[in-house]
């Protein structure tokens, strides 16, 4: 048996992030100011973000140095292992070789600190003392709480209520790292109060929670905003995952035929897949790159590629992306981190350019795949990650039919230790596979801003 885990030394850890904007055949559409309908400039974003991050958002530099202070924190858990799923291959009786990148080894338990640490660093550099953010499943909130604690920045997290109620341990974890965490919609912002007036029992959504955090950042001199996905600089920071994976495959003497990640806002998928997308664009590789979303929130497979707000209260700039409509509130599926109406513009653009495929899957088959993985490999994945596992399993089973020994790689983006209530529901046959809410989406999309 070959090695199960492929490690890199700390000296081999990437010292630069890769910026795919430098290699895109067609540039990204500009971000638009909702008032002027003109492309926005750095100054428009200055109330929200430190200039270091704003410049990364629009940078065309191919490689950007990872600051030493950020590398030092990464070393608490990075480079993360790439693991060959020998036992799962055997259980699936497939000739395919399955590898997974294991991001669950970070202290907050997911890939999210890759960008949280960088964002906290650049905020600290510019003297920021306080950051507000939102979180869905709690992985982003934990990661930012962890990072802010290390750089001595105050942290306030608006957590989507359905996850706040389902996952109390995530809240305590944030509090342990010194952050304040409250359920969203809350009565602490105009955006939150407006939603609660309409629906006092609102389960919340990422779009609403973003509105609340943005409002707090805009209305308080001492506070900036931080986003855990969607934006270009977030995708940039996450490329450390894919860059490590490329080196690990080189050590293993392989190159993946299929590269898979789940998508909510797009960051773990993009971070994992972008270096492989580069190889497709620049070196003409034929890799199949697959993004996987929940059928209950099918942004890419059912959304429109249009300019839309990133949040529900229409306070953000307009972004060209696949969208279900900024006031679409998805059903309370357990993959809370994937319940977002929009998507990273980079991920959308790669899809438009035909560089990636997208699949949507329901909760039950997704958990079924996760269980198959857990029983063979042990490591318990988050429900979000389970979507990638479902696609990897389908691919491996197709290889069983065809006899092909494809190399399949997926990003195991985080552990499910705080999602065991969801596993319990799956085991008790209580999980609902929600039908596609066609009417609700149509209604939300009727409110799209009128910008082409």
Binding site for a copy of itself (CB under 8 A): 1, 3-5, 7, 9-11, 72, 75-77, 83, 86-87, 105-109, 146, 149-150, 168-169, 172-173, 175-178, 371, 374-375, 377-380, 415, 417-418, 420-421, 423-424, 427
CB of 419 to a copy of itself, least distance (A): 9
Phi-psi region of 314 (alpha: psi -120 to 50; beta: other; left: phi over 0): left
**Minimum distance from CB of 202 to a copy of itself (Å)?**
26
Q: With contact defined as beta carbons under 8 Å apart, do 232 and 60 qualify? A: no
Q: Is 295 helix (H, G, I), strand (E, B) or coil?
A: coil
For the bound state, the minimum distance from the C-beta of residue 364 to a copy of itself, rounded and expressed in Å, comes to 15
Instruction: Tell me the residue ranges of DSSP E strands in 177-265.
Output: 180-184, 223-225, 258-262
Token pair in block for residue 238? 């996450």
Nearer to a copy of itself, 169 or 255 (CB): 169
Kindly tell me the burial class for residue 269, based on how many C-beta atoms sit within 10 Å of its own C-beta (0-12, 13-18, 19 or more).
buried
**Nearest residue (CB) to a copy of itself, 278 versus 390:** 390
Per-residue tokens: 151: 């750089």
According to DSSP, the residues that pair with 260 across neighbouring strands are: 290, 410
Which residue, 349 or 415, has its beta carbon nearer to a copy of itself?
415
Nearer to a copy of itself, 210 or 380 (CB): 380
- State which residue, 269 or 367, has the beta carbon closest to a copy of itself: 367
- Going by C-alpha positions, the residue among 28, 44, 37, 30 that lies closest to residue 449 is 37
Q: 63 or 169: whose CB is closer to a copy of itself?
A: 169
**Residue 258 CB, nearest approach to a copy of itself (Å):** 23
Quote the least distance from Cβ 299 to a copy of itself, whole Å.
Answer: 29
In order, the DSSP letters of 6-52 are: E---GGGS-SEEE-GGGG-SSPPPPPB-TTT-SBP-HHHHTTTS-HH
E-state strands within 269-396: 288-294, 304-309, 318-323, 357-361
DSSP 372-386: HHHHHH---B-HHHH
Q: Are 328 and 341 in contact (CB under 8 A)?
A: yes
Integer Cα distance of 230 and 319 in angstroms: 10
Instruction: Label residue 207 exposed, middle or buried (CB < 10 Å: 0-12, 13-18, 19+).
Output: buried
Q: How far is the CB of 81 from a copy of itself (least distance, A)?
A: 9
Q: List strands edge to edge, sheet with 288-294.
A: 5-6, 82-84, 97-102, 407-412, 258-262, 288-294, 357-361
350 versus 409: smaller Cβ distance to a copy of itself: 409
Main-chain dihedrals φ then ψ at residue 403, nearest 5 degrees: 80, 5
Least distance in angstroms from the C-beta of 65 to a copy of itself: 17
* Contact call for residues 236 and 64 (beta carbons, < 8 A): yes
With respect to a copy of itself, which residue has the nearer C-beta, 75 or 220? 75
- Contact predicate 304/442, CB 8 Å: no
Q: How far is the CB of 176 from a copy of itself (least distance, A)?
A: 5
Closest approach, Cβ 104 to a copy of itself, in A, equals 9
Shortest distance in whole angstroms from residue 376 CB to a copy of itself: 8
H/E element holding 149? Answer: helix 139-150
Nearer to a copy of itself, 304 or 371 (CB): 371
Which ranges of 253-319 does DSSP label H, i.e. alpha helix? 267-283, 299-302
CB of 7 to a copy of itself, least distance (A): 6
Complex with a copy of itself: residue 353 or 372, whichever CB lies closer = 372
Nearer to a copy of itself, 269 or 418 (CB): 418
């Amino acid at each position: 048996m070959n090695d199960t885990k492929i490690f890199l030394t700390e000296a081999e850890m990437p010292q630069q992030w890769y910026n795919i904007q430098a290699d895109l055949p067609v540039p990204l559409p500009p971000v638009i100011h909702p008032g002027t309908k003109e492309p926005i400039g750095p100054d428009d974003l200055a109330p929200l973000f430190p200039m270091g991050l704003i410049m990364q958002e629009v940078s065309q530099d191919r490689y950007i140095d990872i600051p030493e202070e950020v590398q030092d924190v990464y070393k608490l858990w990075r480079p993360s292992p790439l693991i060959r799923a020998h036992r799962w291959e055997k259980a699936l009786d497939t000739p395919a070789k399955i590898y997974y990148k294991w991001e669950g080894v970070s202290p907050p338990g997911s890939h999210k600190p890759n960008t949280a640490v960088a964002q906290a660093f650049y905020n600290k550099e510019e003297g920021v003392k306080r950051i507000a953010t939102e979180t869905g499943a709690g992985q982003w909130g934990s990661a930012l709480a962890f990072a802010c604690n290390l750089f001595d920045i105050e942290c306030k997290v608006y957590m989507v209520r359905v996850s706040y109620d389902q996952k109390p341990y995530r809240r305590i974890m944030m509090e342990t790292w010194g952050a304040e965490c409250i359920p969203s919609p809350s009565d602490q912002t105009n955006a939150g109060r407006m939603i609660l007036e309409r629906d006092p029992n609102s389960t919340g959504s990422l779009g609403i929670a973003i509105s609340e955090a943005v409002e707090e950042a805009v209305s308080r001199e001492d506070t900036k905003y931080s986003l855990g996905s969607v934006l270009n600089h977030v995708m940039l920071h996450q490329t450390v995952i894919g860059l490590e994976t490329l080196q690990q495959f080189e050590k293993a003497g392989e190159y993946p035929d299929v590269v898979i990640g789940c998508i909510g806002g797009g960051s773990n998928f993009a971070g994992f897949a972008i270096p492989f997308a580069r190889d497709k664009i620049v070196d003409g590789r034929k890799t199949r790159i697959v993004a996987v979303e929940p059928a209950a929130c099918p942004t890419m497979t059912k959304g429109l590629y249009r300019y839309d707000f990133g949040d529900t209260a229409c306070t953000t700039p307009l972004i060209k992306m696949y969208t279900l409509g900024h006031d679409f509130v998805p059903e309370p599926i357990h993959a809370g981190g994937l319940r977002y109406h929009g998507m990273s513009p980079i991920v959308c653009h790669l899809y438009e350019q035909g560089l990636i495929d997208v699949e949507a899957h329901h909760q039950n088959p997704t958990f079924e795949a996760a269980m198959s993985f857990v029983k063979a490999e042990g490591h318990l994945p988050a429900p979000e990650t389970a979507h990638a596992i479902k696609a990897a399993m389908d691919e491996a089973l197709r290889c069983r039919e065809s006899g092909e020994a494809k190399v399949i790689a997926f990003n195991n983006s985080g552990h499910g230790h705080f999602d065991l209530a969801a596993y319990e529901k799956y085991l008790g046959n209580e999980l609902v596979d929600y039908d596609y809410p066609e009417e609700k989406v149509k209604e939300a999309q009727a409110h799209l801003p009128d910008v082409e």
